[in-house]
Amino acid sequence: MMMPHLSEDLVEEILSRVPAISLKRLRYTCKQWNALFNDQRFSKKHRDKAPKTYLGLTLKDFRIYSMSSNLHGLLHNNNIDLLMEFKGKLSSLNDLNDFEISQIYPCDGLILCSTKRNTRLVVWNPCTGQTRWIKRRNRRMCDTFAFGYDNSKSSCLNNYKILRVCEKIKGQQFEYEIFEFSSNSWRVLDVNPNCIIEGRSVSVKGNSYWFATITKTHYFIRRFDFSSETFQKLPLPFHIFDYNDSTALSAFREEQLSVRFDTSEF
């Protein structure tokens, strides 16, 4: 129940500054707060104003573990302790304890999880513990995924989409499907990136990015736009001669794409 002497706008302003991990406990305080936390407008406001706590996820023995560090000082150019605290297995994944997670794909606070041998897919909110299981229409061992959302519509959970990529013949024959939350169904996607995609996808502002190549001597970034459902080619800021373990894409502050490349071997 809302406090009678506080306006709804003021309560929302206060809650928008509460650390994300604490919102899970507050969700069940009242129906109004639960509805507020499900509002994408509040989610964006909370992301802008709440303390910036880094929640790192890692896979170990097919289970998801977390590490966290407070980045509030870093964002304000202050000295902070960058030591990450190992939190252990995530308790909010209780309904996944019987499944072995092989891959994770983060996007805007949600995480797409693929179980071992790609048998099942589930979208998980680590702050609230909510999950949504995705029914599979086709399944192959070679399946990889990208997780994003349609930026052309008003923001809501139903705008999220999942891209399934299966490389049936290396660099030659691909199979694409897309799952829409709004229709709760898969459909075949008639696209061809005309390249070899390397590594796993990285999501930034609803779109997915990979390293890609055509000749193995010229690398670039391939973007999948979930709004237009098309692939686009982006140049790298420097020339990459070879793709290896030291080459990586990552999301910086959830707003920019970061490229890492170790040139020490050249």
Report for 12-21, 126-135, 180-189, 235-244: range of highest mean pLDDT: 180-189
pTM of the predicted model over 0.85: no
Q: What is the dihedral of CA 131, 63, 186, 145, to 10 degrees?
A: 130
pLDDT at 230: 92
Query: Which of 104, 128, 56 is closest to 113 using CA atoms?
Result: 104
CB within 8 A of 29, min separation 6: which ones? Answer: none
- Give the separation between CA 51 and CA 48, rounded to whole angstroms: 9
Of 91-95, 125-129, 181-185, 233-237, minimum mean pLDDT range: 91-95
87-106 per-position pLDDT tens digit = 444 444 555 555 677 788 88
Query: Which of 236, 233, 237, 242 is closest to 215 using CA atoms?
Result: 242
Phi-psi region of 61 (alpha: psi -120 to 50; beta: other; left: phi over 0): left
Q: Helix, strand or coil for residue 133?
A: strand
pLDDT at 156: 54
